[in-house]
Amino acid sequence: MAYCSWLAFYAFFLNYKLQYADGPPLIISAIATVVTVAEILKNNGLAVAKKIMTSTVDVKDDSRNRPIQKAKIEIVLGKTEKFDELMAAAEEEREAAKAEEQS
């Protein structure tokens, strides 16, 4: 249950960033969560993957006194043509549900 809430938070956050981003496409870094969230956004028609890059990053390992390499992925997402339309429809649904609760 907590995993779904955490995923929903990231999906909401990325939706927000895509909706209000004025600069370059959103760049996100991580691995399993990033791929999952990117797929959720793509499958819902909200985003399109523009670029996927992988690399390794040196991280200091205090127990060995030497750096170790960790995997890194960057996925550059952009809005789809229907992004604004889908977000507006979702907002209307939220407002209708809120109005129904208040009635």
Residue 1 has pLDDT above 50, yes or no: no
| Res 4: pLDDT | 52
Q: Count the neighbouring beta carbons within 10 Å of the beta carbon of residue 86.
A: 15
Residue 6 has pLDDT above 60, yes or no: no
Q: Tell me how long the chain is.
A: 103
| Res 75: pLDDT | 87
**pLDDT tens digits, one per residue of 11-58:** 777 777 766 665 555 555 567 778 888 888 888 888 899 999 988 888
**pLDDT tens digits, one per residue of 66-87:** 887 888 888 888 888 888 888 8
Long-range contacts of the stretch 30-39 (C-beta < 8 A, 24+): 30/73, 31/71, 31/72, 31/73, 33/7, 34/73, 34/75, 35/73, 35/75, 36/7, 37/7, 37/10, 37/11, 38/75, 38/77
Taking Cα atoms as reference points, which of 13, 10, 15 lies closest to residue 80? 15
What is residue 100's three-state secondary structure? helix
The better pLDDT of the pair 90, 7 is held by 90
Q: What residue ranges define each of the domains in the chain, with the CATH number in brackets?
A: 2-102 (3.30.110.20)
